């Protein structure tokens, strides 16, 4: 296996903006060349709320990643989340010209591109179309149809929908930071690439990424993505509850949550306390670990109940042998896996993005909070290789490695994607 091109993942989160620069080495592992992180000031619940603050935060993360990786960062794969994200199942079909010829990749591409023609509500566009399984002449459950003969090719698709305005604001921030967006990737899909293995996806698993502003869910079964959802709660709501419940400032609330927080009150004692400095000469405030955990547990139970509702709503509740994998910054809370197991009755583990990483990766990046950023690099590499493969089949590729990251969908004659539509709107606004 040859090393892939350098790919950059940009995770624009509610609490942090992370930039990860990496490539796949000859052993198939992800080699991190550099990373940068900055505090996120302009994003609320996965949605850009302040353009200027978000641009400044992106620039800081990019500058740090550039200094560490010695790579001139211009092209980025960006994650998208937020409560505006929806998903639906749809079936597409194609009557083939000749059943003497084998099904090829270009016919698969045509089926996928036809899905982008579905009519959406005003202000909504299709972000991504993911093939689940194929049907050839009525024969169901085919995962790899290439090379098979048949008259009628059908496929079940997982279609992900988002608001045009939300994506336009992300693109605006990225462009003002001097960057070019290669692709817009749903964050739970990226996180799943970083922390799940193929065995878990086959057995049936729920990926739950607890971020600062949102909790992202992706359900897999038989190696196929079956359901995605975004819950508009995350670690920031827990911090806000601590701030109000303990009457302390937000900075102190975040510190005590990270250092002493627990998702199970029964695992803590009343006689263990943390002392919070008073404001401007006022006496310090003492908070018991048990009271702190009670506040956290109440909100975390609500988040997990929402997750469990989505699991039941997917129809795969009894088919998820591998249980739940928790990742994201919120997964670092003590006893959160025990609480999730208690509420759902399913097996629960914490997902670390270290399985796909090469030796020598900084220990900081093996934390669950970097799962989305690393997943954006992995998914970016996969999409880049797929685009190259399709271009070679069309006869437009030379087969040589280019000196810069491929910018898919620009040269392609396929139907404009979600990102193309957003870029078109953005370009028209600049001209006006």
Domain ranges of the chain: 198-353
381 contacts: CB under 8 Å, gap ≥ 6? 4, 5, 7, 23, 24, 30
Q: Crossing angle, helix 371-394 and helix 187-195, to 10 degrees?
A: 100
pTM for this one?
0.86
List the one residue out of 158, 212, 155, 148 whose CA is nearest residue 186. 158
Q: Is the dihedral of CA 389, 393, 395, 398 positive or negative?
A: positive
pLDDT of the chain, 432 residues: tens digit per residue = 456 789 999 999 999 999 999 999 888 899 999 999 999 988 888 889 999 999 999 999 999 999 999 999 999 999 998 888 888 899 999 998 887 888 988 889 899 999 998 988 888 988 889 999 999 998 998 988 999 999 999 999 999 999 989 889 999 999 999 999 998 999 999 999 999 999 999 999 999 999 999 999 999 999 999 999 999 889 999 999 999 999 999 999 999 999 999 999 999 888 889 998 888 778 888 999 999 999 999 999 999 999 999 999 999 999 999 999 999 999 999 999 999 999 999 999 999 998 889 888 888 899 999 999 999 999 999 988 878 877 777 664 433 333 344 333 333 334 455 566 666 666 666 655
Rounded CA separation 391/221 (Å)? 30
Q: Structure tokens of 140?
A: 């169901």
Looking at CATH, the fold of the domain delimited by 198-353 is given as: Nucleotidyltransferase; domain 5 (3.30.420)
Q: Quick one: CA dihedral 304, 305, 310, 313, positive or negative?
A: positive
pLDDT at position 141: 87
Task: State which H helix or E strand residue 286 sits in.
Answer: strand 285-288
């Amino acid at each position: 296996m040859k090393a892939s091109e350098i790919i950059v993942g940009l995770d624009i989160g509610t609490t942090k903006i992370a930039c990860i620069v990496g490539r796949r080495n000859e052993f198939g592992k992800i080699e991190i060349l550099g990373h940068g992180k900055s505090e996120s000031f302009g994003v609320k619940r996965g949605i850009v709320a302040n353009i200027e603050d978000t641009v400044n935060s992106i620039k800081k993360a990019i500058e740090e990643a550039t200094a560490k990786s010695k790579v001139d960062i211009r092209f980025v794969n960006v994650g998208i989340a937020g409560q505006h994200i929806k998903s639906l199942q749809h079936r597409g079909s194609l009557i083939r010209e000749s059943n003497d010829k084998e099904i090829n990749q270009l016919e698969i591409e045509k089926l996928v591109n036809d899905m982008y023609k579905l009519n959406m509500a005003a202000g909504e566009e299709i972000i991504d179309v993911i093939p689940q399984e194929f049907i050839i002449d009525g024969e169901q459950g085919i995962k790899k149809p290439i090379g098979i003969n048949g008259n009628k090719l059908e496929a079940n698709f997982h279609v992900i929908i988002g608001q045009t305005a939300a994506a336009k604001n992300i693109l605006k921030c990225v462009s003002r930071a001097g960057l070019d967006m290669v692709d817009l990737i749903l964050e739970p899909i990226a996180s799943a690439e970083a922390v799940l293995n193929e065995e878990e996806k086959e057995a049936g698993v729920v990926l739950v990424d607890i971020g600062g502003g949102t909790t992202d869910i992706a359900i897999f079964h038989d190696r196929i993505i079956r359901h995605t959802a975004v819950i508009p709660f995350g670690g920031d709501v827990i911090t806000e509850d601590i701030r109000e419940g303990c009457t302390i400032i937000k900075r102190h609330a975040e510190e005590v949550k990270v250092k002493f927080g627990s998702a199970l009150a029964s695992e803590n004692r009343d006689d263990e306390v943390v002392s919070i400095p008073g404001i401007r000469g006022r006496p310090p405030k003492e908070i018991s670990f048990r009271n702190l955990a009670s506040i956290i547990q109440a909100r975390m139970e609500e988040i997990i109940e929402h997750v469990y509702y989505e699991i039941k709503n997917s129809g795969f509740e009894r088919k998820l042998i591998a249980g739940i994998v928790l990742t994201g910054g919120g997964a670092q809370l003590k006893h959160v896996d025990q609480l999730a197991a208690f509420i759902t009755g399913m097996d629960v583990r914490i997902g670390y993005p270290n399985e796909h990483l090469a030796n020598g990766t900084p220990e900081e990046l093996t934390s669950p909070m970097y799962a989305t950023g690393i997943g954006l690099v992995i998914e970016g590499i996969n999409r880049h290789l797929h685009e190259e493969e399709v271009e070679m089949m069309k006869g437009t590729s030379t087969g040589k490695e280019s000196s810069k990251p491929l910018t898919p969908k620009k040269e392609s004659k396929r139907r404009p994607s979600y990102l193309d539509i957003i870029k078109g709107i953005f370009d028209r606004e600049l001209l006006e």
